[in-house]
A = this chain, B = another copy of it.
Amino acid sequence: MTRTREAVLALLQRTRQPLSATEIFDRLHQEKVAIDLVTVYRTVHVLKELGLVLQLDLHQEGLSRYELKEGRKHHHHIRCQICGQIVDLLLCPLKKVTKLIEQQTQFIVDDHTLEFTGLCPQCQ
């Protein structure tokens, strides 16, 4: 664990929203932390491998976002199509469905992604 990685981790800890690589880069530079964009990519990759961070690929965003996994329960997201705000959904209705799918398709399911989009209260 280097100071650069600590800085990325600390940023993710104090940020509610899942951040993209560019956002991590920009925010750290605002805080006078010198970090290369390549290092951001490599760092989130390492943190993901270590199981500390989750990678999110939200529909039609065309980029990856990263959020802290540490101590968080399995959850999903809803994104506002106007302002881009991302809110956590502390539910998952897919346990039974997963079993049904395994029966119907003969796949072994090992993951799923679920995301909602819509209009947040402010943008309605």
Interface residues of A (CB under 8 A from B): 55, 57, 59-60, 62, 78, 80-81, 87, 89, 91, 93-94, 96-98, 100-102, 104-121, 124
Task: Give every chain B residue within 8 A of A101 (Cβ-Cβ).
Answer: 78, 89, 91, 116
- Assuming the contacts A60-B55, A91-B97, A121-B106, asked whether A115 and B112 have C-beta atoms less than 8 A apart, the reply is yes
Question: A80 contacts B93, CB within 8 Å?
Answer: no
Contact residue among B97, B100, B104, B120 (Cβ-Cβ distance under 8 Å from A107): B120
Copies in the complex: 2
Q: Is the interface of A mostly helix, strand, loop or mixed?
A: mixed
Distance from A109 Cβ to chain B, minimum over Cβ atoms (Å):
4
Task: Give every chain B residue within 8 A of A81 (Cβ-Cβ).
Answer: 110
Q: How far is the CA of A97 from the CA of B107 in the complex (A)?
A: 25
Q: Which residue of B lies closest to A112 (CB)?
A: B116
Task: Give every chain B residue within 8 A of A89 (Cβ-Cβ).
Answer: 101, 104-105
> What are 5 A-B contacts with C-beta separation under 8 Å?
A57-B57, A89-B104, A91-B101, A107-B120, A113-B113
Q: How far is the CA of A117 from the CA of B116 in the complex (A)?
A: 18
Question: B55 contacts A57, CB within 8 Å?
Answer: no
Task: Give every chain B residue within 8 A of A62 (Cβ-Cβ).
Answer: 57
